[in-house]
Every structure is written in structure tokens, then in C-alpha cells.
Amino acid sequence: MNLSELHTGGKATIVKVKGHGGFRKRIVEMGFIKGQQVEVLLNAPLQDPVKYKVMGYEVSLRRQEAEMIEVAPIEKKAATTAAPHKEITVALVGNPNCGKTSLFNFASGSHERVGNYSGVTVDAKEGFADFEGYRLRLVDLPGTYSLSAYSPEEIYVRRQLVDNTPDVIINVIDSSNLERNLYLTTQLMDMHLRVVCALNMFDELERRGDRLDIERLSRLLGMPMVPTSFKTGRGLEDLLREVIHIFESREGHDEYYRHQHINHGHEIEDGIANIQRFLKGNDLLRLRYSTRWLAIKLLEGDKEAWQIVSALPEAGQIREASVMAVRRIKEETGDDSESAIMDAKYGFLRGALQEAGYTMGHKNDTYRVTHKLDSIITHKWLGFPIFLLFLWLMFEVTFTLGQYPMDWIEAGVEWLGDFIGQTMHDGPLKAMLIDGVIGGVGSVIVFLPQILILYTFISFMEDSGYMARAAFIMDKLMHGMGLHGKSFIPLIMGFGCNVPAIMATRTVESRRSRLITMLVIPLMSCSARLPIYIMITGAVFAQQYQSLAMFSLYLTGILLSVIMARLLSRWVIPGEDTPFVMELPPYRFPTAKAIFRHTWEKGKQYLKKMGGVILVASIIVWALGYFSPAGVADTLEDSFIGMLGKAVEPIFSVQGFDWRLDISLICGVGAKEIVASTMGVLYGGTDFGLSPLTAYCFLLFVLIYFPCIATVVAIRHESGSWRWALFGACYTTALAWIVSAAVYQLGSLFV
Ligand code: GDP
Ligand code: MG
């Protein structure tokens, strides 16, 4: 509980003081020290401030201040004081791919997925680590390069740090890219937080033969630093020990635990001081934020920071002071204040590293290999062919190798159906099991091997660092679509299955690009549509036109996605994306374990999402086809679904579809494979008697219309609103109708 909840006369032991360093310092100076007893002298419900007695003195605190002090009440009868439980909240902060999730997994024994592709962790994950009598509550935050308010991740991490006031921050650093990673550290220093640095990937630093005096650097930055490697778990215990140490000790009482101001040079420092004067006047502000940090953010023109102060009575004066400072900085440094502050921070870091004797070795330089590989893989002319080769290999292996287990599973499903068919008595239950459950779910499960193989490839590409290069070379092309290079990967995954593809859009930083990507993914012809293509082209088209027809369908999907992405980014979701760096992480050979885990995670999601929705949809479709208003239907034509097909027939007369095709389309709403199985039932075989034109228009419709229910649910889940899910469902169906109608009507003129 916190101190403000304690009633008059109550006694408690102080467990911890939360908040930023400046606030803690002030409170601690008043005598609110961990382990001390505090007594409430007067705490009326609406009274503010509240009076306390601590260390023999009477002090009063604001209610909001008291809320930041965690206490353990002392029972009156108990002779011994209740031992305060020792829980430490630890937030993991660092650049993407520095190893936060690996650290999290090692410490908490969890299996979060690690990736070599930025932005994999989007929301915070929580876990526990019990260590030397303490319970460390670990929060794995998204990776960020900085704590400005440009990307959702940055804003998210910042809010977590300010609002949830973790007790200690572990700043995870990729030591093989020290200067760049420490930039974030300088911002944590501004925020005045308790930080322990994990110098991760220390193995790579050593391999390269770099030199660094860690102790010296720790002292310079005023925070403990521990070399770690979360490939092996090295340094974990030392790191956790430091976390506890810093939690238990007081700032300034230890040479590795000091609040260090970064000197930004006199122009900027003057500006900070001028703004800070007004900020300090506001007690509520001081409580929540380090005023120095806030002043720096205001100078940087940070939108969120300005929102915070714009409501204050001092807003006018603050604005004036800031405008003046920005002008001065511009005059004296020739730079806008944001770049000037950044330059100052990098200057600070270069100095600190120099002093800590940091030199880069060249033995076995991992980056040299990376650079060499990159010069080939992202080469202007070579890049694309290599990439296409990769893609071709991926699909080739997926479809040829995947065919074997697919056949086995198909045989298994068939056997199960036959087995039930022979052993059970006839009736609705048997029909439901065979036609509904096994027919529906079975047709999805057969795709599992292919999906797993595809994901093994994708995991390997992600973890090795190749995917980042693929995104890099596709960036220009994707910009033409109004998208970002990173959208490319989810689109490719869409050829496998749209559901995980939509989940994979999480790697796209910009919400706008992400939304557009999600909405065009359904136009990527997923593997569930393949059986329909094969069945119909095989039955209707002459041999020599079959592959051409199939190929044209895939191509039409891609073309439409380009057009739709352009239209959406122009008219429906307009706006500018914040530019961001396309990082090229060093190549790493991923471990088999990581790939296996990653592949399985994706496969599991596929099974879970598809399994649940498909099962329900299959049963519903089956029931609608089995029953009629008069009970059990004699033929499908009399059933509810038959009636539905007849009812919608006029809508599809423009395309020349008859009621049987209409029913198949309606059934395909659950999952596209169902279109094929329904047609099989309705026509009693594959003699459809369709004209090639009608058949092709039907295939176009199947390609474009309503993404299956699981996909719509995935869009809802990832976009956070039903509105976009419904939009995706409606626009695709409308587009399908228009395209197929146009092709049919035009085609009729010639055929
Ligand atoms: P996050 O984005 O910060 O969560 O980073 P991850 O934990 O996902 O790690 C990114 C990649 O770096 C993974 O492929 C890890 O296996 C790898 N990695 C993590 N820690 C180390 C380390 O100490 N040394 C080396 N060589 N690789 C590491
Ligand atoms: Mg992560």
C-alpha cells in the first residue's frame, strides 16, 4: 500500500520511494528513508497536505507525494515489525535488437521470441526473477533509439518510465555499437532515473578485440555497468546483483551511482536553466518530472512536453523563455536546438569513451564481414536477383517439400472421416463430425506443414539479418505504393496465409503504413485459394492455358494491392510518415533453437486463430446446408444455404454466376478452401459445365472478395478497431464484384 492510504494513528515501515531521482532525493532528505517507521499524525479524507511523524520530526507531505511512497503497515499486536516484502520493478530499455528479450528470457525463464529485426517487441512483456531474496518484476519494453516523441514506441516507453516509475532501469546496450547505443543512455540520465547498464553482446566486442575500461566509463556516467552476453547468459547474476545494490543504496553514496548532468555547452545550458526556473515553481510538475529533462525536451520542441506545460499558468513565460533560448542557440551554434542538443550529447559520449580508453580492434572485425556482404546483397543490380532467387527457393521448397507431409495429413484426415463414417450411426451428429468438423478443419490443417516450412525460412531470414536487407532494397519500390520497405515482408507472408501476415505488420513502425499494409494483405493470394484455382482451371481450361490463368491471378492480386495501397494512402488514410532509419543490423548466424522456437510460435498462432474460427464457421455452414425450414433438407438446394444462394442470385447475374457458384462463395466466407469443397458437393464432381469466361471471373471473385473470417478477426485485433476490419471486408467484396463484373461484361463482347 502507499502512505496516503494509511489512516490517522496508523504506523508503517517505509518500503520504497518511487519517482524520478530529484523527487526521491527531496523526500529522502525529509527523513522518509527505506526501513524507517512513519506514523500518521493527521489524515482526514479531503485534507491536503497530510501530517506525519518520521525520525522524531513532524513533517507534512502533499497527498500526491505520499502516494509515491510505498509502505508496509505495522500490526499493533505484532511485536516484530512486518518484514517489508522486497519486490523491485525493473524495466528493460534499449535499442531494437540489443538483446532485451534475450535477457528477459534468461532472467525469467520465459520463451519470448527474439528476432534480429527491429520492432519485434511492441508491447511490454512482464515476468519474474527471484534472486537472492528479492523478487524482480521485469518489464520488457519495445526497442527505441531515443526517447523523443516521434514514434509510438518512443512515446510508449517514455510513458512507462514516467507513469509507472519502475524502481530500476536496466539499459541494455549492444556493445558492438557502443556510441550509438549510449545515446539513449544520455536521455535516461536526463530523466534522472536509477539505471544499471548491461553491456550486452560483450562477446562480439571481445571477438573484435575492442578495448574498454568499463569501471572508468561507469564512473563517468554515474551508473554501474556489467558486461553481459545473453547468447550464453554470462553476467546475468552480476547484473541482477547490481540492480539490487542500486535499489538498496542511496544516490551519491557510491561512486557508481551518481546523478550526472550532461553538459550541453553554455548556450543550451543557459536556456535549460531559464526554462527550469519557471518549471520549478510548479510543485505538481516537479513531483512527476525531472524539470531538467522537461526543459531539455521543451527546447527540442517535443510535442508531448509542450502539451504538458501548455496547461500551466506559467505557460506564457515558459514559451517566451524557450523561444528566446532557441533563437540564441541558433545564433551561436548555427543549428536548430534539437540538432544542437543531439550534437552535444554525442560530444559528451565521444569524450567519455575516449577517456575510458575505448579503441576498436580490427581482429576479426564482425562489421567488416557485414560490410562486405552488404555491398553484395544490397547492391544496386545484384540485390534484386539475389532476393528473387531467395524468394523462389523459399516457395519452391515450401511447396515441393511440404507436399509430402501434406499428403500424409490428408490421408490421415480421410482415414478419420472413413472411420467415423463406418463406426457411427447415421444422424445429424455424424454428418456434423464428417462434413462440418473434419471437412472444414481438416482442409485447413493440411496446410500446416507448408506454413511451418515457410515460417522456418522467414525466421531464418529475420534472425540472420537478411530480412532487414530485403526491406532495405524494397524500400524505394514500396514508397511508390505509399508504403514503407518494412511492409514488404508481411506482404510476402500473405502468400502463405493472411492471418500471420497481418500479425507480422507489427514490425512496421508507422501506424499509417501498418494500417494500409494490413488492408491490402488480403489481396495477396494465400495458399488456401490455391486448391480452388487448381480445381477449376484443371476442369475448365485447356492444358496450355492452365498455368497462365493461375499466374495471371497472382499477378492481378499484386497489381490490385499496389493500386489499392496508393488509393488508401492518398484518400482514406492520408498523412505523412515520420522518417526513420532502416537499420542494417550485423549478420548473425541464428541458433537452431531460436529458429525452431520462432517457427513454432508462429505455427501455434496459426493453429489457434484458424482452428477456433474455422471450427465454428464450418459447423455453421454445415448446419445451414443440412437443415431446411422443414427440418433436415433433402437436397442442398432446399436447405437454408440453398435459399440464401437463390436469394442472392440476382446480385451475381452481371457476372453470369448461377446459384451454386453463389452458395460456394457464401460458404467461402468462413475459409476460402470451403469454396472448393462446397462446389464438389453441389456439382457432385468436377464437371462444372462452366464457360472459361465465367470460370475466370469466378476465380477473380474468389481471389479478391471477403478475406476469410480469421483474417478479418486478425485485422480487428491488430488495428484495434472493428471499423477497419469491416472496412477491409467491405472494400474487398465491392472490388471483387466490380472487377469480375467488368471482366465478364467486356469479355462477353469478344467471346
Ligand atoms: P531485443 O530486440 O532487444 O529484444 O533483442 P533480442 O533479444 O530479440 O536479440 C536480438 C538478437 O541478438 C538475437 O538473434 C539474439 O540471439 C542476439 N543476441 C542477444 N544477446 C546477444 C549477445 O550477448 N551476444 C550475441 N552475439 N548475440 C546476442
Ligand atoms: Mg525484443
181 lines ligand 1 (CB under 6 A): no
The amino acid that residue 559 corresponds to is L
pLDDT number for residue 620:
81
Q: What is the Cα–Cα distance from 147 to 183, expressed in whole angstroms?
A: 10
* 229 CA: nearest ligand 1 atom: 23
- Judge if the beta carbon of residue 463 lies within 6 A of ligand 1: yes
Q: 369 vs 40, 73, 376, CA distance in Å? A: 65, 60, 11
Q: Whose CA is nearest to atom 6 of ligand 1?
A: 99
Counting ligand 1 atoms within 8 A of each CB, the residue from 110, 114, 173 with the most, and so the one to mutate, is 114
Q: Which three cell numbers stand for residue 170?
A: 536496466
β-pair type (627-628, 168-174)? unpaired
Task: Calculate how far, in angstroms, residue 100's C-alpha sits from the geometric centre of ligand 1.
Answer: 7
Residue 122, pLDDT score: 52
Name the helix (H) or strand (E) containing 170. strand 168-174
Q: Tell which residue, 717, 536, 537, 525, has the closest CA to residue 612.
A: 717
The position carrying cell 543504496 is: 249
Per-residue confidence (pLDDT) for residue 742, from 0 to 100: 96
Q: 451: CA distance to ligand 2 center in Å?
A: 24
Closest residue CA from atom 22 of ligand 1: 201
Q: Is 143 in the pocket of ligand 1 (CB under 6 A)?
A: yes
Ligand closest to the CA atom of residue 170: 1
Phi and psi (nearest 5°) for 174? Answer: -85, 100
Whether 100 contacts 92, CB under 8 Å:
yes
Ligand 1 centroid – CA 375 distance (Å): 24
Q: Are 499 and 610 in contact (CB under 8 A)?
A: yes
How close is the Cα of 98 to the center of ligand 1, in Å? 6
State whether the beta carbon of 671 lies less than 6 angstroms from ligand 1.
Answer: no
Cβ 166 under 6 angstroms from ligand 1:
no
pLDDT at 121: 41
Nearest CA residue ID for atom 19, ligand 1: 99
Neighbours of ion ligand 2 (CB under 5 A): 101, 121
The pLDDT, as a whole number, for residue 606 is: 67
CB 580 within 8 A of CB 727: no
Helix-helix angle 466-480:366-377, to 10 degrees: 40
Specify the amino acid at residue 388.
L
Ligand number with the minimum distance to the CA of 122: 2
Q: List the alpha helices (DSSP H) in 378-427.
A: 383-423
Q: Which of 156, 160, 158, 167 is nearest to 195 (CA)?
A: 167
- CA 103 to ligand 1: nearest atom: 7
- Residue 45: CB atoms within 10 A of its CB come to 5
Block residue for cell numbers 490421408: 411
Evaluate: CB of 588 within 6 angstroms of ligand 1: yes
Regarding the beta carbon of 95 and ligand 1, being less than 6 Å apart is answered no
Question: Quick one: CA dihedral 94, 97, 101, 106, positive or negative?
Answer: negative
CA distance 577 to 747: 41
CA of 390 to the centre of ligand 2 (A): 26
Give pLDDT, residue 36: 84
* Number of the ligand 1 atom closest to the C-alpha atom of 201: 23
Give the separation between CA 75 and CA 2, rounded to whole angstroms.
16
Ligand 2 centroid to 159 CA: how many Å?
Answer: 18
Query: Which of 173, 231, 238 has most ligand 1 atoms within 8 Å of its beta carbon, as the pocket-test mutant?
Result: 231
pLDDT of residue 119: 41
**CA-based diameter of the chain, in Å?**
100
Cell output for 243: 540492480
pTM, full prediction: 0.60
Ramachandran angles phi, psi of 303, nearest 5°: -60, -45
> Ligand 2 centroid to 115 CA: how many Å?
7
- Ligand 1 atom, smallest distance to 590 CA: 14
Q: How many CB atoms lie within 10 A of CB 737?
A: 17
Q: How far is the CA of 100 from the centre of ligand 2 (A)?
A: 5
Which ligand approaches the C-alpha of residue 96 most closely? Answer: 1
Split the chain (751 residues) into runs of 10 and give each run's mean pLDDT.
Answer: 86 87 83 85 79 84 86 66 71 92 87 48 76 91 85 85 92 91 94 95 90 91 94 93 91 81 85 92 87 94 90 91 91 83 85 84 63 82 86 78 86 89 87 79 74 83 81 79 82 83 80 92 88 84 85 89 91 70 67 81 71 74 85 84 88 90 86 80 75 94 91 89 95 96 94 75
